[in-house]
Structure 1
Amino acid sequence: MTLSTSVSTLLLGTALLSASPLAAEPNTPTTAKASSPQQQAKNKLRALVGTNIDFDLHPYSDDFFRLTLGNEHLLLSKDGNYLFSGRVIDVRNRVDHIAKIQQIANQQKMADIPYEQLLTYPAQDEKYRITVFTDIDCPYCRKFHKELPALNQQGVTVHYVMIPRGRAGSPAYQKTAATLCAERPNQAMDAAMRSTPAPAENTECGHSLDIQVSLAQQFGFQSTPTILLPNGEAVPGYLPARDLVARLAQR
């Protein structure tokens, strides 16, 4: 059974949780024993998804464990009988808990981002660092790119992770690789965002496009632009500089 087939058989959907609001994730996870409630819940889920899919349960609240299957972030009730995906809204506290556990997972993955292999637009007086998953053929990515001078002036350093529209070897992929591997990659990126891509003279360099595509897959991001904030929150779509800086200042 494939992962997608397994996930599609699970109890998925939106749950409105108002009677028993979820608490924040404990700072110190507990170690599960063979007969613990955590292990019992895991065994129930294992019976559903099969033995060939790896997953771990992590404490999230008094009522739920959190887990990830592939790039799907889920909540599992402590008794192992209910699995939640999509949006799980705590009405009382106005918290989307699936978005919250995705943010936790993003924070953990951010520690392994190879920033030295990304194209970076540094702020002179850095206050914030954001990572933007982008594509040189995406209209709203090009619109966002025009905001970079204003972002840099307001202390925001921008790291780019490229997600070309084609697979390895395709014209879109080669065009993106050539831009990253140009003698002056930032200037080449500026030109590419104006529909003037660099000539495909060199497509292998320190800004490895393969690594960047793999990074996007690890985060589960497919749409561009997607803006990854320092706290792990993922913001899909275009934001003007003034709105993005205001959002960063609130966190």
Structure 2
Amino acid sequence: MKKTIRIASLALAVAAAALGCTAQADQVTDKLKATLQARLGSDAPIKSVTKAPVAGLYEVNLGTQIIYSDASGDYVLLGDLVDTKTHKNMTEARLADLNRIDFASLPFANAIKVVKGNGARKIAVFSDPNCPYCKRLETTLQSVDNVTVYTFLYPVLTPDSTVKSKAIWCAADRAKSWESWMIDHHAPTNAANCDTTALDKNLELGRGMNVTGTPTIFFADGRRLPGAVSADQLNQALASTK
């Protein structure tokens, strides 16, 4: 019985110590966050501060960017942290993980849906109709099969982007109008006389998800891939989606 009591007491002591370490760590990161926020100002809102893989270094999450700080907040490092053993960009991987989304919760009714092949694989793309990289991605998608593409019109480049987005959204066949413009360069000629509040919602959604450029691709597991990637890169990313 005494042995049982001693084991139970030891377990409680270990748990208490762990809680104490966690509380202490929280105090350090909370203080560092407050210090850095005061020094960096409101233009750089800090989402979180955690320990970095390097001793004495802290990861500061700004949402669209990760920077690193010492424990006192006196110095910050701007740039990528790279694992020299694997050549993995730790900063890029961490930022992708922090910005992972719940794909299933996306408002697909506000997107243009195109099904290729059996459509088993799924991606969502935030795209501006006047973005040359978005047009390049659309050309690439022509050679990618068995995928469902949800395109969220995201007119952020020019006022004309909004004009074209509204016309495409109001077309009788949105998918055909979108591809006709992006692939064949035939501008939509129909009147934008329908309800286009979906575009406003897309802008709000994208900003909330830190979509800062077009195209931005999201996969079914919540990962994102910015830019006009090649068909090989896209297929590899789709194949690795869990």
Q: TM-score w.r.t. structure 2 length? A: 0.70
Residue among 113, 119, 127 paired with 1:134: 127
C-alpha distance after superposition, 1:140-178 (max 9, x if no partner) = 433332343432x3x2221212233645xx333111111
User: Which of 239, 246, 251 pairs up with 2:230?
Assistant: 239
- Structure 2 partner of 1:248: 238
CA–CA separation in structure 1 for the residues paired with 2:46 and 2:165: 34
Change (3 A) 1:160 1:85: farther
Aligned counterpart, 1:192:
181
Name the CA shift for 1:177/1:143 in 2 (closer, same or farther; >3 Å): same
Deviations 1:167-215 (CA, angstroms, capped at 9, x unpaired): 5xx3331111110221211111122222223235235436711222333
Paired residues of 2:83 and 2:90 also in contact (CA < 8 A) = yes
User: Could you say which residue in structure 2 is the equivalent of 1:228?
Assistant: 218
User: Do residues 146 (structure 1) and 135 (structure 2) align?
Assistant: no
Structure 1 residue 238, shift from structure 2 partner: 3.7
Amino acid at match of 2:62: L
Gaps of 5+ in 2: 1-20
Q: 2:78 aligns with which of 61, 80, 85?
A: 85
Matches within 5 A, 1:164-203: 164=155, 166-167=157-158, 170-193=159-182, 194-202=184-192
Residue 116 (structure 1) aligns with: 109
Alpha-carbon contact 1:44-1:80 (below 8 Å) kept: yes
Change (3 A) 1:237 1:49: same
Q: Which structure 1 segments of 5+ residues have no match?
A: 1-29
Two-structure CA RMSD over aligned residues (Å): 3.4
Report if aligned partners of 1:37, 1:79 keep a CA contact under 8 Å in 2: no
CA apart distance, 1:79: 4.7
**Counterpart Cα distance in 2 of 1:98 and 1:249:** 23
Q: Say yes or no: does 1:162 pair with 2:150.
A: no
Quickly say closer, same or farther: Cα 1:197–1:46, change in 2 above 3 A: same
CA distance in 2, matches of 1:43, 1:61: 18
Percent of pairs with identical residues = 20
Cα–Cα, structure 1 residues 179 and 65, in superposed 2: closer, same or farther, change >3 Å?
same
Provide the residue aligned with 1:43 in structure 2: 34
Give the deviation of 1:115 after TM superposition: 2.3
Q: Which has the larger radius of gyration?
A: 2
Of 91-100 and 140-149, the range deviating more from structure 2: 140-149
Contact 1:71-1:220 at 8 Å conserved across structures: yes
Q: Distance in 1 between matches of 2:25 and 2:36?
A: 15
